[in-house]
Structure 1
Amino acid sequence: MLHNEHIVLTQGTDKLYIAGIDDPWVGKADIAQALLHIPEEACTILLAHEPDFADDFCKLPIDLQLSGHSHGGQVRFPIVGALYTPPHGNKYSSGLYQLPNSQLQVYTTRGIGVTRMPVRFNCRPELTVITLHS
C-alpha cells in the first residue's frame, strides 16, 4: 500500500517510480506528497483508486495512472455503455485512455469483483497484465 508516497524500482541504471495516493473519500489524498522528490523527467506510474481524478493530475509529471473503482460499470449495453458507475468512476470507466494535451494515460481495470449489484452483464471481469516499454 502506498499512501501519499512512492517507491523506486531499479534495474541497472533504469528507474521506475511508483506513486500511490490515499483514497480521497475515506482518507486524505495528497498527490504533492506522493510525488515529492521524484525527478520531473522520471517515468512515473500513479496508483489511484478513482480514475476520474486523472483530470486533476494531467498537468503533473505522471506517465500512467492505474485505477479501478468503477468495475467497468458491471452492466453495459451497446451504444449506451455502463448503466451505472460510482462517483469519480464515470469518465474513465474501463480500459485505456490518453488524456488530451497531456502525457498522462489512464488505465481502468474492470477488476474481478462486483459492487452494489451482484451481477455483471456485457462487462466481463478481468485480470490485467501490462507490459511497459521504454
Structure 2
Amino acid sequence: MPVVSPASRSQSAPTRHTRRNFLLGSAAAAAGVALYSGEFARHHIDVTQRTFAIRNLPPAFNGFRFVQISDIHLEEFTEEFFLTQVVKRVNALAPDLVLITGDYVTNGIQSTRVSLAAAGRCGALLNALDCPQRFGILGNHDAVLDPFVVRDHLQNNGIPLLVNQFTRIERGGQHLWLGGLDDILSGHPNLDLVMPPSPDAPVIVMAHEPDYVDAIVKHPRGKLVDLVLSGHTHGGQIRLPGLRPFKAALPTMGEIYTEGHYNFGPMQLYVNRGLGTVGLPFRLNCPPEITVATLRPA
C-alpha cells in the first residue's frame, strides 16, 4: 500500500478545495447569468432612436416619427404584463404611426389552440395603442400556425395586416406608400404587390425576414423601395460583448443581417431585435427593442 506523507495530504486538500470552490463559483455565476438574462435582461426595454434620410421625402413628412416593434411571441415566454408595459412605453412616445413586423405568437411547445388564443389576447393588448395609425405584417410563426386566424385577431383590434398589399400614409395633403410582404418562409411574398405600379412617393416595405433584402435589391422594382423594416432575428438573443451573434442562435433568413441599420445604395434596411424570445426565455447583451424612427430628407 502506498504511503501518503503528511506533506502530500497538506497539498492535496487545498487542491480539492480550490477545485470545489471553482466549480461552486462557476455554478453560482451560471445561475446568476441565467437569473439576470431570464428575468431582468429580457424585460429591460431599449428605446432606440434612429433617423432615416429618405430621397424625395415630401416636406410634410420631414420629422415624421414612427415606432417599430416586432416579435412579441406572446404567451410561450412573453407575459401579458410585459406587452402591457411595452404599449404604455410606445404611447408615451406619441408616434405618428406604429408598425409591427410580425410574430405575435409562437409556433412552439404549446398547442396550436393555446397559441391561437394568445393571438386574440395579443390583439386585445395592442388595441390600447393610441397612435393615429398602426399596421402590421405576418411573421413565420404566425404563418405556420394559422395566418387567417392571426390576421383576424389583429384586424378586429384595429391593426390591419398588410399581406402582399400596400396603403397610403397621408400627412398635410402629401403621402408615402407603405407595403407589407407575406411571410417569406411560409407564405408567397410578391414585391410587385406591395407598391403602386408607378410610385409617386417614397416606399417603405415591411418584410419579416431581413435576409430577403438581397432578393429585393435584385428585383427589377427593388430600386423603387426606400426603406425595408424587418425583425425575425431577435438580434441573436444571447450575445458576447463586441461579437456577432452565435450562428446557431440565428434563424433561417436571418443569418446575414442580424440587427440594426444597413445601406444598399439609396435603399436602407432596419432590423429590430424584437420584444420576445423563442427556445429559451433568455436575453443577454441583446435587450428587447422599441425603435423610434424619424424621417428626414436625403
State the TM-score, normalized to the length of structure 1. 0.90
Q: Distance between the aligned counterparts of 1:36 and 1:42, measured in 2? A: 10
Q: Which has the higher contact order (CA 8 A, sep 6+)?
A: 2
- 182, 196, 208: which is aligned to 1:49? 208
Matched, 1:28 2:188: yes
RMSD across aligned positions (CA): 1.5
Using the TM superposition, name which of 42-51 and 4-13 deviates more: 4-13
Matched, 1:37 2:202: no
Matched, 1:97 2:262: yes
Deviation at 1:80, TM superposition (A): 3.1
Q: Distance between the aligned counterparts of 2:184 and 2:171, measured in 1? A: 32
Segments of 5+ residues of structure 2 without an aligned counterpart are 1-160
Deviations 1:89-122 (A, max 9, x none): 12111111112xx311110111110122221111
Runs of 4+ in 1 over 2 A off after TM superposition: 35-38
Deviations 1:12-45 (A, max 9, x none): 3421100000002222111112224341x52010
Deviations 1:65-85 (A, max 9, x none): 010000001011134310121
State the TM-score, normalized to the length of structure 2. 0.42
Q: Tell whether the 8 Å contact from 1:44 to 1:64 is kept in structure 2 after alignment.
A: yes
**1:1-134 → structure 2 map (5 Å cutoff):** 1-39=161-199, 42-58=201-217, 60=222, 61-83=224-246, 84-99=249-264, 102-134=265-297
Change (3 A) 1:38 1:15: farther
Using the TM superposition, name which of 51-60 and 67-76 deviates more: 51-60
Q: Tell whether the 8 Å contact from 2:239 to 2:286 is kept in structure 1 after alignment.
A: yes
Q: Tell whether the 8 Å contact from 2:178 to 2:195 is kept in structure 1 after alignment.
A: no
Q: Distance between the aligned counterparts of 1:69 and 1:117, measured in 2? A: 15
Q: In the comparison of the two structures, how many residue pairs are matched? A: 131
Q: Distance between the aligned counterparts of 2:212 and 2:278, measured in 1? A: 20
Pair member with larger Rg: 2
3-state SS of the aligned residue for 1:81? coil
Segments of 5+ residues of structure 1 without an aligned counterpart are none
Q: Distance between the aligned counterparts of 1:2 and 1:121, measured in 2? A: 32
Task: Give the structure with the higher percent helix.
Answer: 2
Task: Give the structure with the higher percent strand.
Answer: 1
Q: Distance between the aligned counterparts of 2:193 and 2:296, measured in 1? A: 27
Question: What amino acid maps onto 2:251 in structure 1?
Answer: P
Q: Tell whether the 8 Å contact from 1:17 to 1:38 is kept in structure 2 after alignment.
A: no
Q: Tell whether the 8 Å contact from 1:58 to 1:103 is kept in structure 2 after alignment.
A: no
Change (3 A) 1:5 1:38: farther
Q: Tell whether the 8 Å contact from 1:76 to 1:82 is kept in structure 2 after alignment.
A: yes
Q: Distance between the aligned counterparts of 1:104 and 1:120, measured in 2? A: 30
